[in-house]
Amino acid sequence: MTTQSRATLADVARLAGVSSKTVSRVFADAGNVSVDTRERVLGSAKRLRFRPNNLARNLRRGGVTNTVAFVIGDLTNPFYFTVAAGIERELALHGLTMVLASTDDSPDSEERVVDALLSQRVRALLLIPIAEDQSYLDGERQLGTPVVSVDRPARNLIADSVVLQNRLGMAEAVRSLTAIGHRKIGFISNPSGIYTQRERLAGYREALREVGVTHTGHWERLDDDPAVSAEQAVQSLLALPDPPTAIVAGNNRGSAGAVRVLRDQDPPVAFIGFDDFELADALGISVVAYDPIELGRTAARLALGHLAEPDAFTKQVEIPTRLIRRGSGEIPPPR
């Protein structure tokens, strides 16, 4: 009594005494079917537990599905998931579903994963570029599949992209520290190779240069080694002979580490994180915040827009950031 085979249109048609096309009409078109027939068909379908096969339907209809792919690097990072939530919501408004795939932050697997998804004939592809080079996607793009790169720009590929105001956001944070007198400001982040971190680092340096601080190398902790935790990075900064009076973090992992170390630091060290987090308000941590849901929604909208207007120019969107002052970033330097 296992797996009896699935009913098809033809089975339903036979039972209802109509042609399969009529059944098809009942389930798809909804046009030109008498109420009588319609009910008879629906009855038979129910009895046979019929469910239309979207595979066949989509194939027949020209190989387009209702699926949009989102390729994510690290699934356990809450940031990406929130972005995914935004994407899903926007897609749902248009009757599309999202498939999620992970490259496990491994550049090598990116093309493999993407390829598998494209074989599924996804309607559009959203991805967080991990590999060095996305030129392999150019063919697909020319075939009309919208490609949107999320959080980082794609390399060697013309594609829509949505990124954060990384540089500006970080510069604003650092400026708010220099405005109250800080000059010795540490920067922690890892890993350093990534676009977002490079941008934020640039913003940090830029803001410091504005107040005449040009040598920042010894205050930068950009550890590629994941074993070096944010906590250790902060500690190594504090252990300097001339330690910074303020620290900024380039990513959300840095914030948690910094909070742990800096809580019982005396004299207190100012801190501003990048990316808001739960309880940051209760803890009084100032952060550069942005709306990750909106990042996802925007990415989805770009894809949908491209679908509606295939010949439009490529768009680059920046999601604004804003500094939220909660106290930790307003601690003045000790005098």
* SS3 category, 331: coil
> Does residue 238 belong to the site contacting a second copy (CB under 8 A)?
no
Q: How far apart are the C-alpha atoms of 301 and 277, rounded to whole Å? A: 26
Q: How far apart are the C-alpha atoms of 28 and 54, rounded to whole Å? A: 11
> Does residue 313 belong to the site contacting a second copy (CB under 8 A)?
no
Q: Compose the 268-307 pattern: x for residues touching a second copy by CB under 8 A, - for all others.
A: ---------xxx-xxx---------x--------------
The one-letter code for the residue type at 116 is A
Give the residue with the Cβ less far from DNA, 10 or 99: 10
Q: How far is the CB of 319 from DNA (least distance, A)?
A: 38
> Does residue 117 belong to the site contacting a second copy (CB under 8 A)?
yes
Q: How far is the CB of 41 from a second copy (least distance, A)?
A: 17
Give the residue with the Cβ less far from DNA, 6 or 112: 6
> Do 287 and 247 contact (CB within 8 A), yes or no?
no
Number of residues in contact with a second copy, rule: CB under 8 A? 58
From 124, 125, 97, 123, select the one nearest 111 (Cα to Cα): 125
> Does residue 56 belong to the site contacting DNA (CB under 7 A)?
yes
Label the pairing between strands 246-249 and 286-289. unpaired
Q: How far is the CB of 145 from DNA (least distance, A)?
A: 15
Q: How far apart are the C-alpha atoms of 213 and 185, rounded to whole Å? A: 10
From 126, 129, 141, select the one nearest 88 (Cα to Cα): 126
> Do 101 and 45 contact (CB within 8 A), yes or no?
no
Taking CB under 8 A as the criterion, the residue among 33, 42, 75, 228 binding a second copy is 75
Q: How far is the CB of 59 from DNA (least distance, A)?
A: 4
Residue 286 dihedral angles phi and psi, to the nearest 5°: -80, 140
Q: How far apart are the C-alpha atoms of 11 and 18, rounded to whole Å? A: 10
Cis status of the peptide bond prior to 78, with omega within 30 of 0: no
- Residues forming contacts to a second copy in the complex (CB under 8 A) are 2-4, 6, 49, 51-56, 58-59, 63, 65, 67, 75-76, 78, 81-82, 84-85, 88-89, 92, 97-102, 104, 115-121, 139-140, 142-144, 256, 259-260, 263, 277-279, 281-283, 293, 310-311
- Residues forming contacts to DNA in the complex (CB under 7 A) are 5-6, 8-10, 13, 17-22, 24-25, 27-29, 32-34, 36-38, 50, 52-53, 56-57, 59-63
